[in-house]
Amino acid sequence: MNVKVLKANLILLTAALVWGSTFVFQRSAMQNMDPVSFSGLRFALGALCLAPIAYFRSKRPSLPLPGVPKWLPLLGMIVAGTVMCFGINFQQVGLVETTAGKAGFITGLYVIMVPILGLAFKQKPDLGLWLALPLAVTGMYLLSVTDSFNLAPGDGLVLICAFMWAVHVLVVGYFSPRMDSFMLGFGQAFVCAVLSLIYALCCETITWEGLWASRYALLYGGIGSVAVGFTLQIIGQKDSPAAHAAIILQLEAVTAAVSGWLFLGESMTARSFIGAGLMLAGMLVAQLWVFVPKRKPQGNNGTP
């Protein structure tokens, strides 16, 4: 693994830690705000934070990148923002009826969906990834599910969210090497905010009391998760394969479960800690497999 890929993986790991801790704020905000309103406002705040950086970077003479059509960055913003809008709002609505830890587990299922969807784009994951997937999935199950897994309405919505996040990882994997990271980060946050707020203004109620009561959740969700977390994902995916990125980003589920245990009083048992350990093991297997010596095919040298 070269230094560039290792750096990208550490950046993605940081994004996963930020996102996992955001589940606590997402869930607590539901006591005072409607779900899509919260999503729209925090993504609007995130877009506002990224706007100055995106503007100045758009003025660089090196843009657009060589060989990239002028319309492609705009397409990337719209596609990534639309997919993000569906993903985050299915997750946010689902959090009304499920725990932060369980939502982290279900969302983390996109780790299996990414390589499966990637096969449609002729992406061939290495053996290390397929060895890591059972560890990761088993770990997520032990981490967040106790006796039985019943797909409640909230869980089903978060499951749809997991599928959308898998699509988002592939979308970002395609567009991030072809455009500026901060421009993509701003664009997708702006599109997500606009679409969410249109729905919220038509179907939900936004009050000043709810905004003030949720101010810390909005600040952390907007600045930390959107402005910082999603931008780190874009930067990291420039040099990390989409399937490997999904393995690293699944650490979000561990952080979500631990944060729910510490701040929301959700259960964290010995079984949960074992699950977290298996997830970490899966991540390490996927990343360290490149160091396993590969057998070179033996050619015919003319000897019997």
| Statement: residue 303 has pLDDT above 50 | no
From 66-70, 115-119, 171-175, the region with the lowest mean pLDDT = 115-119
What average pLDDT does the segment 84-106 reach? Answer: 86
| Statement: residue 304 has pLDDT above 60 | no
- Give the C-alpha separation, 67 to 58, whole Å: 17
HEC sequence for 119-185: HCCCCCCCHHHHHHHHHHHHHHHHHHCCCCCCCCHHHHHHHHHHHHHHHHHHHHHHHHHHCCHHHHH
| Statement: residue 296 has pLDDT above 80 | no
- Give the C-alpha separation, 201 to 76, whole Å: 26
| Statement: residue 177 has pLDDT above 80 | yes
Sorted by sequence, the CB contacts under 8 Å of residue 86 that are 6+ apart come out as 160, 161, 164
Q: How confident is the model at residue 254 (pLDDT cuts 50, 70, 90)?
A: confident
From 9-18, 152-161, 196-205, the region with the lowest mean pLDDT = 152-161
132 touches 74 (CB < 8 A): no
| Statement: residue 298 has pLDDT above 70 | no
Q: Which ranges of 30-109 does DSSP label H, i.e. alpha helix?
A: 35-58, 72-94, 100-107
What average pLDDT does the segment 230-241 reach? Answer: 86
From 122-131, 220-229, 250-259, 274-283, the region with the lowest mean pLDDT = 122-131
Q: Which residue has the higher pLDDT, 81 or 62?
A: 81
Q: Retrieve residue 192's tokens.
A: 């997500």
* Maximum mean pLDDT: which of 115-124, 169-178, 199-208: 199-208
From 47-61, 90-104, 289-303, the region with the lowest mean pLDDT = 289-303
Q: How confident is the model at residue 222 (pLDDT cuts 50, 70, 90)?
A: very high
Q: Retrieve residue 141's tokens.
A: 């199950």
From 29-38, 103-112, 139-148, the region with the lowest mean pLDDT = 139-148
| Statement: residue 94 has pLDDT above 60 | yes
128 touches 247 (CB < 8 A): no
| Statement: residue 291 has pLDDT above 80 | no
| Statement: residue 197 has pLDDT above 70 | yes
Q: Retrieve residue 174's tokens.
A: 């395609």
- Give the C-alpha separation, 20 to 273, whole Å: 16
